[in-house]
């Protein structure tokens, strides 16, 4: 049996492996901070759901994808300093997924020609049932102060550009000299809200906005017309 000499026991190089192992046990694991761009990409990815409301909000998912790419670049260059790989993947997936989802919703809405949040109505909805003696139909009264979408034609008037308000009628057969012959439920006063203006056109137009139903006797408060749309959509 070999017995270590005193020199070997006193020599620090004899047990180098042991001391190296002991040093590894004592040294704490190095802290890596979560990459800020990775966190931002995930946050922006969640906000990308807003793209379903308008095309111009498409910049949100684009920003999320760019942030995810920049975060991935930083993490790859300094893996000993940054963590957040899963956040990068989540941010990229959310941004791209919500972008495609929003584009699909907007495309579907455009195909239907009815903006999200508006109820499609027809001129029949505004027509009273004369046989029952009603002045205004219940279907129209129930829509008071609700957002609706109605299609029709602009009634010709003296002003043709920068219109803040105009009359909407169901067909082009209504001439500018026969207003008295048009039933009141076949005329809707359109008033644009805010700074929006429109030019006269002979094309079929769609109007979206808040429907106001004047239930006062004779409809005096609305100039003899029971229906007014405070419009914020014109297409």
User: Quick check: is 16 in a domain?
Assistant: no
- Number of domains into which the chain is organized: 2
Give the number of residues written for the chain: 235
Tokens of 162: 């920068």
Distance CA 209, CA 146 (A): 8
pLDDT at residue number 227: 94
pLDDT at residue number 14: 47
The answer, as to whether pTM is greater than 0.85, is: no
User: Quick check: is 28 in a domain?
Assistant: no
Q: Dump pLDDT digits (tens) for 40-84.
A: 999 999 999 888 888 888 899 999 999 999 999 998 898 888 888
Based on the domain organization, do 108 and 146 belong to the same domain? no
User: Quick check: is 206 in a domain?
Assistant: yes
User: Quick check: is 8 in a domain?
Assistant: no
User: Quick check: is 26 in a domain?
Assistant: no
Based on the domain organization, do 94 and 62 belong to the same domain? yes
| β-pair type (165-169, 188-192) | antiparallel
Based on the domain organization, do 124 and 230 belong to the same domain? yes
Residue 191 in 3-state DSSP?
strand
The closest alpha carbon to 195, from 226, 234, 153, belongs to 234
Based on the domain organization, do 158 and 77 belong to the same domain? no
Q: Where does residue 194 fall: left (phi above 0), alpha (psi -120 to 50 degrees), or beta otherwise?
A: left
Based on the domain organization, do 124 and 105 belong to the same domain? no
Phi, psi of 58 (to 5 degrees): -65, -15
Distance CA 210, CA 232 (A): 8
Q: How confident is the model at residue 229 (pLDDT cuts 50, 70, 90)?
A: very high
Domain boundary among 112, 127, 144: 112
Distance CA 28, CA 31 (A): 9
Structural domain harbouring 76 = 33-112
pLDDT at residue 179 is higher than 50 = yes
């Amino acid at each position: 049996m070999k017995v270590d000499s005193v020199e070997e026991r006193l020599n620090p190089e004899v047990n180098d492996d042991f001391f190296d192992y002991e040093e590894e046990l004592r040294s704490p694991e190095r802290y890596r901070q979560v990459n800020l761009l990775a966190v931002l990409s995930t946050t922006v990815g969640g906000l990308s759901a807003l793209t379903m409301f308008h095309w111009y909000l498409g910049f949100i998912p684009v920003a999320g994808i760019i942030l995810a790419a920049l975060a991935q670049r930083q993490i790859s260059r300094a893996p000993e300093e940054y963590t957040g790989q899963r956040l990068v993947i989540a941010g990229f997936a959310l941004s791209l997924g919500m972008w495609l989802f929003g584009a699909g919703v907007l495309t579907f809405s455009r195909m239907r020609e009815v903006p999200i949040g508006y109820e499609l109505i027809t001129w029949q909805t505004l027509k009273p049932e004369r046989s029952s003696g009603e002045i205004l139909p219940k279907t129209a009264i129930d829509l008071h102060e609700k957002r609706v979408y109605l299609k029709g034609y602009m009634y010709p008037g003296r002003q043709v550009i920068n219109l803040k308000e105009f009359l909407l009628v169901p067909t082009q057969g209504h001439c500018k000299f026969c207003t008295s012959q048009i039933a009141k439920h076949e005329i809707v006063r359109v008033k644009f809200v805010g700074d929006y203006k429109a030019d006269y056109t002979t094309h079929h137009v769609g109007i979206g906005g808040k429907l106001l139903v004047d239930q006062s006797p004779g409809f005096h408060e609305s100039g003899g017309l029971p229906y007014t749309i405070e419009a914020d959509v014109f297409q």
